[in-house]
Structure 1
Amino acid sequence: MQRKTNRERTETTRARLLEAGRALFVSKGYADTGTPEIVATADLTRGALYHHFPDKQALFAAVVETEAAAVAAEIEQAVPMTLDAVSALLTGGEAYLSVMQQQGRARLLLLDGPSVLGRARMDEIDDAHGNRTLREGLEAAMNAGALKPLPLDALTVALGAMFDRAVLALIDGGDLRDQMAVLGAVIKGLQK
């Protein structure tokens, strides 16, 4: 049996902490999750936790960042490169609504994330992941002449907020078809 390298052990420990943290943050919320519970769930020591993360908030930020990256990757995977720019926006938007319904994602990214990390930090995370995919789609559509030329940053923020509110409506029992009908009408209304 080959022994793991230090890097492999580090990656394994970090992954266990992220997994345990995610599970507890989703089931109990950030405020009701303690570090002793995180390390017990990960079957690690507090020393291992503090070796990788200075505090619980840093672990939470890493969980949120990991989750946001997974959402962006799933959106990108759902949108075929062969679609025209507007169809890609619509398909990506529907993919976002779908992947955000995974257990705990809305809580992590839309509710607890802003409250624990602050709006500015969440904006940085969004800009690197979910809003990045939206921005790229809007920019591609404008460059293709499919959408009216509008201020890209403002448009990304406004549409991103609409998509986030649609996710929260879905979590509260809303209908996906209704949400996509409205979001689709808004996007189509931006066409030239």
Structure 2
Amino acid sequence: MNLSRRRLTRDDRRARILEAGRKVFAQHGFGAAQMEHIRAAAGLSRGGLYHHFAAKEEIMAALVDAECASLAARVETAPLPLVALVEAGSEMLGAGAAGFDPAWLEGRQERERYLAAREAAEARHLRPVIETALQSGIAEGRYRNVPPRHVAELFLTVNARLNRLALLDGSPLADIAGFAATALTALGCLLGAEREFSDLALRIGRWGAET
């Protein structure tokens, strides 16, 4: 049997489309990219492409979702998942093998679509990781007995605000880093775990001051 000619599975086709989408977005930018570009890069028929995705916005959302799923898997087994999440998130934003780079976007409307997709993906994949980390910390006596669901929502809300400051408002990196450091310090106080977050807050604040 010639394995190179084997019939592609549904997952194979989807993965091929996502990889083609990344390449086309990187080459043309999201705004100029067309579904026909992606179809040709994936080597599929129009039916094979549109069976999975009706528009390039759906491909972008799928790439963002894959990136957030990868991030969740990366940090959920870390000794300090919340700290690992902040560290890994700053490293992986748009840079993961499965991710979507915000540099491919132009204009406010494209950035708003990206942020909406990212916030939905983070709620789907990261909220459970955050809640589990909080529940474990409370059970182990490392955190105060605060409602995990509420703190997880607070964490994601602050993160969404940071992303919007960067992509929509064009705020200086020093201001964004300062906000992030202050938010981490406040989170440590809320959880009664100041030492757990203080070093990371200092590093982020120092990085912002040096940028």
Unaligned runs of 5+ residues in structure 2 are 193-211
After TM superposition, the score normalised by the length of structure 2 is 0.64
Q: Whole-Å Cα distance in 1 between the matches of residues 48 and 110 of structure 2?
A: 24
**Aligned residue in 2 for 1:46:** 46
**Aligned residue in 1 for 2:130:** 134
Q: Whole-Å Cα distance in 2 between the matches of residues 88 and 53 of structure 1?
A: 33
Task: State the Cα deviation string for residues 97-126 of structure 1 (Å, max 9, x = none).
Answer: 222262764639xx989843895x765532
After TM superposition, the score normalised by the length of structure 1 is 0.69
Establish whether residue 152 from structure 1 lines up as the match of residue 161 from structure 2: no
Establish whether residue 67 from structure 1 lines up as the match of residue 67 from structure 2: yes
Task: State the Cα deviation string for residues 45-81 of structure 1 (Å, max 9, x = none).
Answer: 322201323443433332222222122223336x2xx
Q: Whole-Å Cα distance in 1 between the matches of residues 121 and 145 of structure 2?
A: 26
**Aligned residue in 2 for 1:34:** 34
**Aligned residue in 1 for 2:204:** none
8 A contact 2:94–2:100 mirrored in 1 = yes
Cα deviation for residue 147 of structure 1 reads 2.1
Q: Whole-Å Cα distance in 2 between the matches of residues 140 and 167 of structure 1?
A: 28
8 A contact 2:146–2:191 mirrored in 1 = no
Q: Whole-Å Cα distance in 1 between the matches of residues 65 and 22 of structure 2?
A: 11
Q: Whole-Å Cα distance in 2 between the matches of residues 158 and 32 of structure 1?
A: 36
- Select the residue among 83, 86, 90 that pairs with 1:90: 83
Give the letter for the 1:139 counterpart.
Answer: Q
Distance 1:25 1:161, change over 3 A: farther
Q: Whole-Å Cα distance in 2 between the matches of residues 170 and 101 of structure 1?
A: 13
Give the letter for the 1:44 counterpart.
Answer: L
**Aligned residue in 2 for 1:174:** 173
Cα deviation for residue 35 of structure 1 reads 0.7
**Aligned residue in 1 for 2:158:** 162
Q: Whole-Å Cα distance in 1 between the matches of residues 139 and 69 of structure 2?
A: 25
Q: Percent identity?
A: 23
Unaligned runs of 5+ residues in structure 1 are none
Higher relative contact order (CA 8 A, sep 6+): 1
**Aligned residue in 2 for 1:100:** 93
Give the letter for the 1:33 counterpart.
Answer: A
Alignment of 1:76-87 (within 5 A): 76=76, 79=78, 83=79, 87=80
Task: State the Cα deviation string for residues 13-34 of structure 1 (Å, max 9, x = none).
Answer: 22110112233346622x4332
Q: Whole-Å Cα distance in 2 between the matches of residues 152 and 113 of structure 1?
A: 33
8 A contact 1:71–1:100 mirrored in 2 = no
Task: State the Cα deviation string for residues 124-160 of structure 1 (Å, max 9, x = none).
Answer: 5323312322222122222323222233222112112
